[in-house]
């Protein structure tokens, strides 16, 4: 056995491998997410429009790149240029990683692909000779809207689980109000981790909250609900719910 393989084993647990922890690069956020995402996690990030799904996925993406990992983003929310500009505006500049080949960004038109969107996306995820450590899909909502059946979507997530079994980490964002509840419940149960983002009005103030529903294999207890702001030049800033509500 190689030294590397031996080091990967947990003391006293023959054959069981340690799972690396993926940090978001934000210690406060990591602490609320059980210490970080274990590698090989399939994470579902759901919420309404403007709730912060893209920002959360971008924060985790930035943390992975900062840790020396390789990442690929499939986005239906941005062009490559607008994604880079958006991340730079909240102090998550990833241009150098793109130039070095450690980050790949693909703008996708899921609505135009129609029923073939899940299959086309899955084929694209499988084509890399050098597999990324992290794949972000932001967002998958249009693919669900145009799928020929719920079975097609469930099969896509099953395929994602198989990719995660090889150690790859996958983040999928979706607009929860656009998905029927039976399918949404099935997807939640299939995923290893599940985060819900909400945005609501309290008088004239917009309140954003993050709920960590589950993270399998987390290093500490999850289930926290916290408020957060997204500030230019700062990124995600977690705040107590009481303070968020004023």
Sorted by where each starts, the structural domains of the chain and their CATH numbers stand as: 40-195 (3.40.50.300)
**H helix and E strand count, the chain:** 11, 11
In this model, does residue 78 exceed pLDDT 70?
A: yes
CA–CA distance, 167 with 183 (Å, rounded to integer): 26
- SS3 state at 71: strand
C-alpha closest to that of 245 among 224, 229, 223, 234: 229
In this model, does residue 185 exceed pLDDT 80?
A: yes
CB count in 10 Å sphere of residue 241: 12
- Look at residue 13 in the predicted model and tell me its pLDDT: 42
Indicate the pLDDT class of residue 147, thresholds 50, 70 and 90.
confident
Interacting residues of 143 by C-beta distance below 8 A, sequence separation 6+: 110, 113, 117, 118, 121, 153, 156
Q: Are 237 and 91 in contact (CB under 8 A)?
A: no
- Look at residue 239 in the predicted model and tell me its pLDDT: 84
Range of lowest pLDDT (25-34, 62-71, 167-176, 216-225): 216-225
Indicate the pLDDT class of residue 237, thresholds 50, 70 and 90.
confident
Question: For strand 169-175 and strand 134-138, is the pairing parallel, antiparallel, or unpaired?
Answer: parallel
Indicate the pLDDT class of residue 8, thresholds 50, 70 and 90.
very low
CA–CA distance, 89 with 199 (Å, rounded to integer): 21
């Amino acid at each position: 056995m190689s030294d590397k393989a031996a080091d990967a084993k947990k003391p006293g647990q023959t054959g069981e491998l340690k799972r690396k922890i993926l940090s978001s690069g934000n210690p406060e956020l990591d602490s609320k997410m059980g210490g970080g995402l274990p590698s090989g996690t399939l994470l579902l990030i759901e919420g309404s429009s403007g709730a912060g799904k893209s920002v959360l996925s971008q924060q985790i993406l930035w943390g992975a790149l900062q840790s020396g990992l390789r990442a690929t983003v499939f986005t239906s929310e941005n062009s490559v240029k607008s994604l880079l500009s958006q991340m730079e505006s909240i102090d998550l500049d990833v241009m150098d990683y793109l130039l070095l080949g450690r980050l790949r960004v693909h703008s996708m038109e899921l609505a135009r692909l129609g029923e073939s969107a899940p299959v086309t996306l899955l084929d694209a995820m499988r084509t890399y000779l050098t597999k990324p450590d992290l794949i972000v899909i932001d967002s998958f909502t249009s693919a669900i809207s145009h799928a020929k059946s719920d079975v097609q979507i469930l099969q896509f997530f099953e395929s994602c689980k198989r990719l995660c079994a090889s150690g790859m980490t996958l983040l999928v964002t979706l607009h929860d109000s656009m998905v029927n509840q039976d399918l949404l419940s099935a997807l939640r149960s299939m995923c290893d981790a599940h985060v819900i983002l909400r945005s609501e009005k309290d008088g004239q103030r917009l309140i954003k909250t993050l709920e960590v529903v589950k993270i399998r294999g987390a290093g500490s207890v999850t289930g926290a609900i916290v408020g957060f702001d997204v500030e230019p030049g700062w990124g995600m800033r977690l705040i107590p719910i009481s303070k968020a509500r004023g």
